[in-house]
Amino acid sequence: MGASAATGIQMVAARPCVPACQRMLGSRPVVSAFGRALSTRTGFASCVQTASAGPLVAAKYKRFAVRAMSQGAAPGLPIDLRGKRAFIAGVADDNGYGWAIAKALAAAGAEILVGTWVPALNIFETSLRRGKFDESRKLPDGSLMEITKVYPLDAVYDSLEDVPEHVKTNKRYAGSSKWTVKEVAETVKDDFGSIDILVHSLANGPEVTKPLLETSRSGYLAAVSASSYSYISLLQHFLPIMNPGGASISLTYIASERTIPGYGGGMSSAKAALESDTRVLAYEAGRKGKIRVNTISAGPLGSRAAKAIGFIEKMIEYSYVNAPLQKELLADEVGNAAAFLVSPLASAITGSTVYVDNGLNTMALAVDSPTLST
């Protein structure tokens, strides 16, 4: 298992800023207290921000330091999401990136809500109830991740009016209600009032195994609808109940900008759209609701969903051989990056595509290419 969100991404508090702070304050003991005060439950100050606030006098500074440390801040800059509530769309088992992100956020203290595809809901809830996920629910402190509530969700449909009759009457949807994006957002509002974190961890391309030249219009549009527009819809409906200062993330893949033969059916186009939308949504959600929007370009993972493309094991092997870091990519590493991006540590990061793929995106030549051995 990879490092936990609480322990795997840490930095020494104010190390890059200490020299400037020392010049400003002229006292090592005060600088030490200032460094400890940087890590708080509600956010993180910086030397630049403090300097711009004006001259610091000892009495004022001591009050700030005591107040910050009284909140029980740990040394360094740990990720602290206590008091935050996250909704994660696209969790249907315990071996995908959505699950890993949920665990990382839970380890950092966030309350977890999940949205599960309606046809998979019964199996997922039954597995949770019977303890089949207990081993993978374990957090770094030995406790089990708690999921406060599981919501049925089909992010392909914005509202009930959009659902065709053959879906409404499908037996796989029987017994579930209020599962369109609008209805789920309204139900979450009724249940909890607001959220702080929104995670989009879902994608689908019915013709993903077909080359793009053989992809039908309906297959292409279905891939874009389920894999990229669904994120716009989620943010559109959840933004009104997101607390200012919150954050949202999605998951993308290097096929958005590099050709991956076999990753077809319009999925590469959908990921490219998702990354473009991330930049636009970062502006719009930032101005409208003070919400940050980023996406993680994750390397290949042998999840159940990824096996649908048919050659995921070969993609994993290729990544292992050719990436700068020659090691297995763990789902927990993507979860840790997500926890960082939605935390106060990343308060100035928005509109970005963050690569968590052992550096494979940087390579322009496969080091195991036969041409290199001739």
Amino acid at 329: L
Is residue 253 among the annotated active site residues? Answer: yes
Q: What's the CA gap between 190 and 300, in Å, rounded?
A: 37
Among residues 151, 220, 229, 263, which one is catalytic?
A: 263
Q: What is the DSSP string of 151-204?
A: EEE-TT-SSGGGS-HHHHT-GGGTT--S-SHHHHHHHHHHHHS-EEEEEE----
Looking at the chain, how many residues does it have?
374
- Cα 332 to chain centroid, rounded: 11
Residue with tokens 């409208």: 288
**C-beta separation of 362 from 257 below 8 A:** no
In this structure, is the dihedral angle defined by the CA atoms of residues 297, 303, 307 and 311, taken in order, positive or negative?
positive
Task: Find all residues with CB under 8 Å of 95, minimum gap 6, and list them.
Answer: 136, 303, 304, 331
Q: 3-state DSSP call for residue 315? A: helix
Task: Find all residues with CB under 8 Å of 14, minimum gap 6, and list them.
Answer: 21, 31, 34, 35, 38, 47
Q: Distances in Å between the alpha carbon of 176 and those of 118, 128, 148, 167, 308? A: 7, 18, 18, 12, 26
For the record, the structure tokens of 117 come out as 């595809």
Residue with tokens 């997500």: 338
Question: What's the distance, Cα to Cα, between the start and end of the chain in Å?
Answer: 39
Q: What's the CA gap between 273 and 288, in Å, rounded?
A: 21
Q: What's the CA gap between 3 and 9, in Å, rounded?
A: 8
Among residues 151, 157, 253, 355, which one is catalytic?
A: 253
Is residue 157 among the annotated active site residues? Answer: no
Report the catalytic residues.
Answer: 253, 263
